[in-house]
Amino acid sequence: MMIKRNTVTIALIIIVVSVIILGCSGADMNLPSQSAGKNIVVSEKTFKSDDLGWESLSRMEESPGWSSSAVLLSNGDILVCGGIKYPDALSSALIFEVDKNKWRKTASMHYPRGYHTGTLLPSGKILVTGGMNHYSTNVYPLDGGIAECEIFDPEKEIWEETAPMSEPRVGHQATLLKDGRVLVTGGSTAEIYDCKSMQWKKAGDLKYRAFHTSTLLNDGRVLIAGGLHQEKEVLRHISNRVDILSDVFSFDPIAEKWEKVASMNEKRCGHSAILLNDGRVLVSGGRINEISATSMVEIFDNIQKKWTRIESMKNSRSNHKSMLLPDGTVLVTGGDPIYPDRPLVSTEMLSFTAFNWVKGPDMKVRRTQFNLVQLEDGNAVAIGGWNGNYVTEVERIKLMK
């Protein structure tokens, strides 16, 4: 079903999605020495990877729309739940049996939601938090946002309600800490969910933000970067009422304190952050104003506490996905460039051997605001999203022989 132009206008201008949650330490990856804010020039060598390409998998009977959640279960299957089909949020849930290449329905959530989070807990259960229970033109979570949380038991395939958060949240992030608790950021506060007591505890105040990134560092800290700052203002006036952030904070879960660290070189929301093998954090793309995405990429060094620009991607993109390949190469795919351009089908790879971006294999379907779930074998499955239609096609990138 095609989405009307005015609907797309609201959707793509208003909401940008944040993404990948992983972490950092300080091994030297021989990054060219240059001060933050300066571009690093790299060679034009081509990175090659055997058998790297996308293959079609069994498609869904119904798309979860955009901004659903998808979580890899302990048994290797994928749970997909919620999502937005304008103007409604969904409560439905599906399980993709990867080995059988088969979709099936499972129990629906208690609450419809999109722009929520889904987190695999140490118990194997899934914690789902917050989100938007109907599509709203106001990102501020009191309008359309919910605080309710629930847990999916994959053995019984049932949903159980758990304690709600202290405030509604939309476009927030949930990060599994090393001690098994879950840190949620976004909105005007941060809080921690204790899986044993099944209760929330406040974890300090932050400037209101949504569509930021949250990265678990190797030392157990969590790095929060960028996002969209907006308080009780309607986003149809985005050009003069919304502040896109460059500030960055580090959270110590033992002391339960926040520390402000060096800001990024570029303000951005709807960007992607990923842990590199050496422990640094790579941030790519994101929305920089109400119209444009950026191609700029920068790396945070957790030891030196500074950001360094590297070569930009070939395409500007936000609402894209990124992942780390088994050989340490960074892969980014999909997303949307400059409104109202069509969502991207392209893939790019950053080789740390040549230290430059090269073109990767195109996806079979354009998509933005989708899920990319990395499997235990290093392959990854792209699910859902929007490309002018609600995407039902499912595809897998095969990374290695």
Please tell me the predicted confidence (pLDDT) of residue 340.
52
Tokens of 177: 């800490």
Domains of the chain and any CATH numbers: 5-398 (2.120.10.80)
Please tell me the predicted confidence (pLDDT) of residue 36.
32
> Tens of pLDDT along 221-253?
999 999 998 764 444 444 445 689 999 999 999
DSSP sequence for 341-396: SPPP--EEEEETTTTEEEE-PPPSS--BS-EEEE-TTS-EEEE--BSSBB---EEE
Residue 169 backbone phi and psi in degrees, to 5: -140, 140
Radius of gyration of the chain (CA): 19
Number of H helices, E strands in the chain: 2, 30
What is the rounded CA–CA span in Å between residue 104 and residue 95?
A: 5
Please tell me the predicted confidence (pLDDT) of residue 236.
40
Please tell me the predicted confidence (pLDDT) of residue 137.
61
User: Which ranges of the chain have pLDDT less than 70?
Assistant: 1-51, 136-143, 231-242, 339-341, 400-401
Please tell me the predicted confidence (pLDDT) of residue 401.
54
Evaluate whether 84 touches 319 at the Cβ level (below 8 Å).
no
Please tell me the predicted confidence (pLDDT) of residue 290.
81
Please tell me the predicted confidence (pLDDT) of residue 94.
98
Contacts of 200 (CB under 8 A, 6+ apart): 163, 164, 165, 166, 191, 192, 193, 194
Length of the chain: 401
> Tens of pLDDT along 31-70?
433 333 333 233 333 445 556 899 999 999 999 999 999 9
Please tell me the predicted confidence (pLDDT) of residue 204.
86
